[in-house]
A and B are shown apart, each in its own frame.
Chain A
Amino acid sequence: MAPFTIYTILGLGIPTLAVIELAFRTEHGQLTFGNMSAVSQGTYRLGFENSILLATITSVIPGILGLFLAYAIQTSRSGLLRRLVATASGVLANFGGINLTFIFIATLGSTGVLTAWLNYIRLNPWHYGFNLYSFFGVVIVYMYFQIPLMVLVITPALGGLRPSWREAAENLGASSLSYWRTVGVPVLLPSVLGGMLLLFGSGFAAYATADTLTAGTVTLAPIQIGEVLNGNVISGEEHIGYAIGFGMLIVLSITMIFYGLVRRRASKWLR
């Protein structure tokens, strides 16, 4: 236990504290609140708003889709299908950045495969105002790793839904609907919410995919940090990056507090 504790303190704790400390320092090391107040307005504020919006959309929709997909897989008879999807989820949940950007350009870019198919039936999305290299495009691409992540997180919870509960409900005369309303949903709800909170964090934190897809043109908090790190910032604002980082950590701390609460609730019936 001790080596693990030391490792996580060094690898997670110290770097996090370093970011927080530098958020309150000028380039010359004096204490300041200037970075934080700069970050709380204007384009940086917009970055946070967009990031939170993006994370919310890409946690709720993939959360629901992932739940249904996981349930469809779980109840499937085919062992091969289950294994294929389980392993694909593990791989795809880690799939992102430049690789993901490429395959989506090949799919939905202006000359992509799907675009060509849709064009064939006169439904070319680009003719209807669609743009892959925009906020909406980022939403579509993020689902490619968010849905598998939800499948991974929710599958154990679905496995904890015991068949005997359903049988008991049926023996007592419950319909499928009332089983779900009074047993299934209440038992699963905390786990589903927990999964969505994780997706929120993951969507909020992701950088490489949005950056490579839009070439940094979408205003998101992590992309703004990247801009600072790559030196695209006026002098005297080099520590803005740390302040944005600190802001992101605050949002994620709140997310994780809720996560901890729903986890506790979830473990009441499952496991």
Chain B
Amino acid sequence: MASMIPEIAIEETQGDIPQLTGDPQSRRRPRLRYWRGVVLFLAGVYFLIPLYAGLRFSFQNDAGQFSFYAVEAIPSQTGFTAAFFLSLRLAAVTTVLTMVLMVPTATYVHLKLPKMRRVLDFVTILPIVIPPIVLILGILDAAPRWLKASPYLLSLVYVILALPFVYRSLDSGLTAIDLKTLVEASRSLGGRWISTLWHVILPNLRAAMLSATVLTIALVLGEFTMASLDLWTTLPVWIYQFSQLDAHIATAVSMLSLIGTWVLLTVIVSVDRSQSRRTRRRTGIL
């Protein structure tokens, strides 16, 4: 019996991410907790107060009283529906394109070209630092005219912007599963590549793909620079134009899209965690 106790204690302290403070000397703990409390409190203040302010502003009328008018009035505003559905269509096209491009690429690199992972790491981080405004300059110059006439040019560019988040999400998903064994088993049972990808790899990558999808949608629903310079009234561009008319309604739309995305992503990550407790996710999103 006595030998059981330490084991239980160990299980208690190990979460699904390796603990950094497996600190046996308990005298250090209070100081660390105190320090962590201060950091979390400050971060909470900095990140939550603006969210609260945005929400409060969304639920206020012009006289400053609590009111649902802004939220209720959103769907009936001129141009909102058009902008919203344009953004949704762009988000859908971007997501499908990104997945079709990146899932096979990431899988292939993991299986066959592990040395290329460093290169892919580097290339896919570039969109974080390449200024969207410079990129759109070049794209408006280099893209053929028929493509420039279509809003889906934006989707093609958003695929690039989504790369850093999507690739890292897929990469950690692929690292978490025993890809090689799975593929070899499928192949030795006579599965072709395409059916291996569809029936074996995709189901195992479901969680990584879902969170990549949500991040892609968040990106498309929030991207302002390129859409406005390409002269398409997507949701953020509409918010910007409409804010001159009614800032309460415009803020309500931005708050809804932000909180909606966050809740959706948290639900996905939580559901995934409860379903696959055994596989240790190495990292977060990126």
Contacts and interface: CB of A to CB of B under 8 A. Distances in A.
A15 B251 contact: no
Given A14-B142, A112-B53, A201-B128, A103 B254 contact: yes
A258 B61 CA distance: 50
A113 B53 contact: yes
B100 to A, nearest CB: 9
B283 A156 contact: yes
B71 to A, nearest CB: 15
A263 interface: yes
B74 interface: no
Interface in B146-174: 156-157, 159-160, 163, 165, 172
A4 B101 contact: yes
Contact of A19 (B47, B127, B137, B219): B137
A8 B123 contact: yes
Nearest to A209: B224
Interface residues of B, number: 97
A92 B15 CA distance: 25
B46 to A, nearest CB: 7
Contact of B261 (A74, A91, A206, A207): A91
Interface in B1-59: 15-25, 28, 32, 35-36, 39-40, 43, 46-47, 49-54, 56-57
A106 B57 contact: yes
B132 interface: yes
A41 to B, nearest CB: 20
Contacts of A79: 15-16, 273
Contact of A205 (B57, B131, B172, B261): B131
B53 A103 contact: yes
Interface in B187-231: 211, 215, 218-219, 222-225, 228-229
Given A14-B142, A207-B225, A159 B129 contact: no
A16 B284 contact: no
Interface in A243-269: 245, 248-249, 252, 255-256, 259-260, 263, 267
A4 B159 CA distance: 11
A207 to B, nearest CB: 5
Contact of B160 (A11, A18, A153): A11
Given A11-B139, A94-B218, 13 more contacts: A8-B160, A18-B142, A72-B36, A79-B15, A91-B261, A102-B54, A166-B23, A167-B22, A176-B28, A205-B131, A208-B132, A229-B229, A263-B118
Interface of A: 1, 3-4, 7-8, 11-12, 14-19, 22, 65, 68-69, 71-77, 79, 82-84, 86-99, 102-104, 106-107, 112-114, 143-144, 147, 149, 152-153, 155-156, 158-159, 161-163, 166-167, 170, 176, 198, 201-202, 204-208, 212, 222, 225-226, 229, 241-242, 245, 248-249, 252, 255-256, 259-260, 263, 267
Interface of B: 15-25, 28, 32, 35-36, 39-40, 43, 46-47, 49-54, 56-57, 101-102, 104-105, 108-109, 113, 116, 118, 120-123, 125-135, 137-139, 141-142, 156-157, 159-160, 163, 165, 172, 211, 215, 218-219, 222-225, 228-229, 236, 239-240, 243, 247, 250-251, 254-255, 257-258, 261-262, 265-266, 269-270, 273, 282-286
